[in-house]
Amino acid sequence: MTTTPHFTLPFRVGDSDFCTVEQDEYIDIFNCISAIVRTPFGTRNEVPEFGRPTVLFVNQPVGKEFLTSAIMTQEPRAEIVVTEVPDRYDELIDNIRIDVYQSGDDQ
């Protein structure tokens, strides 16, 4: 049983209750980053500044700085490394990887 529960992402129902994670644990921070990355600015009416910049039709490289800045601004508990690599077979695809580290992990 969690002391300060947060719903998991994606939202799930377990055997008898909603699935939760403990606040400030690694998976909670990971879930928050996932929510930021999956949400373009302006799509949440109640918090229009939540999320990440829209990268649709942006030339490559997309600019990992924008994504890194959005995550670090909205989730200060995060320790991340963002890498961006163009796809080797399709120049229209840009692969972005976000590594999330727990405090004290070796990078």
- The proportion of the chain whose per-residue pLDDT surpasses 90, expressed as a percent, equals 40
pTM: 0.79
Residues 23-67: tens digit of each pLDDT: 888 889 999 999 999 999 999 999 999 998 887 666 667 778 888
Matching residue, tokens 């990971």? 30
Element (H, E) at 33: helix 26-38
Q: How many domains does the chain have?
A: 1
Q: Note whether residue 107 is domain-resident.
A: no
Burial class (CB in 10 A: 0-12, 13-18, 19+), 48: exposed
Containing structural domain, residue 82 = 5-101
Q: Note whether residue 106 is domain-resident.
A: no
Query: Of 40, 36, 77, 38, nearest to 57 (Cα)?
Result: 40
CATH of the domain at 41: 3.10.450
Q: Note whether residue 86 is domain-resident.
A: yes
